């Protein structure tokens, strides 16, 4: 179950709880409609760490364990963010979850 909204919806969490699929947790700011407007991070990696930590706690409360982290390459990110993410992809291994990088020609 790939939810590009980051599992912000209670309905999506209930569906996941009922079916126990593999969940892909994608990082992005805002909503898909406005995520590329005024993209700004005080510290990209700190903010992404906080996002993944908080969302993993929520998913685990719903007894969801099969989770893949998606760094959201090209989603609410500028070119320099995307390049830093690729360069430091190993930063996210501390979450002990598989990583997904959906790379294409997004903002590169």
Encode the chain (108 residues) as per-residue pLDDT tens digits: 998 888 999 999 999 999 999 999 999 887 667 777 788 899 999 999 999 999 999 999 999 999 999 999 988 899 999 999 999 999 999 999 999 998 876 555
Q: Is 108 part of a structural domain of the chain?
A: no
Q: Looking at the domain assignment, is residue 25 inside a domain?
A: yes
Domain residue limits at 76? 2-100
In this structure, is residue 105 part of a structural domain?
no
DSSP for the chain, please give it.
-EETT-S--HHHHHHHHHH---EEEE--SS-TTTTTTT---SSHHHHHHHHHHHHHHHHHHTT---EEEE--TTSS--HHHHHHHHHTGGGGGGG-S-EE---SSTT-
CATH number of 53's domain: 3.20.20.20
- Number of structural domains the chain divides into: 1
């Amino acid at each position: 179950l790939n939810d590009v909204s980051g599992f912000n919806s209670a309905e999506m969490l209930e569906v996941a709880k009922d079916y126990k699929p593999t969940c892909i947790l994608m990082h992005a700011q805002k909503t898909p409609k406005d995520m590329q407007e005024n993209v700004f991070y005080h510290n990209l990696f700190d903010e992404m760490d906080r996002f993944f930590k908080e969302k993993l706690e929520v998913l685990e409360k719903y007894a969801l364990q099969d989770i893949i982290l998606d760094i959201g390459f090209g989603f609410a990110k500028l070119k320099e963010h995307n390049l830093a993410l690729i360069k430091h992809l190993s930063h996210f291994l501390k979450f002990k979850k598989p990583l997904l990088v959906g790379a294409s020609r997004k903002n590169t």
